[in-house]
A = this chain, B = another copy of it.
Amino acid sequence: MPAVPTLLVLDADPLPRLGSLTGRARIVHADEATLAQRLPEADVLLVWDFTSNAVREAWPGEGPRPAWVHTASAGVERLMCPELAASDTVVTNARGVFEQPIAEYVAALVLAIAKDLPGTLDLQRERTWRHRETRRLAGTRACVVGSGPIGRAIAHTLKALDVTTALVGRVPRTGIHGPEDLDRLLSRADWVIAAAPLTEQTHGMFDTRRFGVMQPSAYFVNVGRGPLVDEDALAEALTRRWIAGAALDVFTDEPLTPDSPLWRLPGLIVSPHMSGDTIGWRDELGRQFVELYEHWEAGRPLVNVVDKQRGYVPGH
């Protein structure tokens, strides 16, 4: 490690608060256009603009590469490329920041649907008093797909609301089902929650067949990554009432453009990729990076190290 390491930041607005690193890092900023040129001088790369594909585009070029890359997101699919995966560079992510907010967001969606809050707001706009009977959430069944920290936090919160909840992961282990149980669990679930990382195995996993397996009374919620879902298949499932409804916080192409048909699908709630972003989240992401930097600077092992082949931080 050099006396004063060079920390390259792929910028997004607002910038991270890195004042506490003054004198301990030479901080250099890059945008998507200048990243490739700046990369060789960096000891550390902070991917603050986690919506950018610039890292995986710039990485394969010439020259030295940073020893450590940290991304201010849970998913790493936008920055990963074969050259980075094959390198000695350590990749870390923002595990720990988004879990509880996303779990609360899923609980908010599930409860709002159970209690028909969208219907209540519509009727209020029309000044119409119309009593309805709504669902009791306790005793219903959820299937949470994705057994990482976000999926586990969602399962924990749903269980706290007395929802019978099954978790499905890549491999079965105690309390977690393997992929071989997925279809059976989907066919019995009142709520299907997608919270898996985007990998080759999960890309497009919610397709026509899987929506067909679900109950006509089931609701589907995606707070993972947009491409987990075949959006055309979901549109068909909603239009043909194979399932009762859905809520998407993530999409294949973000932001959704005004002409997207997804804004108006029957029974679909659309939100703008915000499930994990509670007030102060950027400060928390900045603090998390500074803490990791202090480990790195002191030569201590890093936490939140991503398995670059799998595309997420493995294990409990």
Using a CB–CB cutoff of 8 Å, the interface residues on chain A facing chain B are 100-101, 104-105, 107-109, 111-112, 114-115, 117-118, 120-121, 123-124, 127-138, 157, 160-162, 254-256, 258, 260, 263-264, 269-274, 277-281
Contacts and interface: CB of A to CB of B under 8 A. Distances in A.
Contacts of A101: 134, 136
A119 B278 CA distance: 15
Contact of A131 (B124, B132, B274): B274
A121 B135 CA distance: 20
**Identical chains bound together, number:** 2
Contacts of A274: 131-134
A271 B123 CA distance: 9
Contacts of A278: 133-136
Contacts of A130: 272
Contacts of A136: 100-101, 104, 278-279
A280 B111 CA distance: 18
9 contacts: A100-B138, A101-B136, A108-B114, A112-B112, A124-B263, A127-B264, A129-B272, A131-B277, A161-B161
A269 B100 contact: no
Contacts of A109: 117
A295 to B, nearest CB: 26
Contact of A134 (B100, B111, B162, B277): B277
A254 B264 CA distance: 34
Interface centre among A254, A269, A272 (most CB of B within 10 A): A272
Contacts of A161: 104, 107, 157, 160-161
Contacts of A118: 121
A273 B104 CA distance: 25
B105 A108 contact: no
Contacts of A162: 100
A120 B248 CA distance: 12
Contact of A137 (B104, B255, B269): B104
A271 to B, nearest CB: 5
A24 B170 CA distance: 59
A40 to B, nearest CB: 33
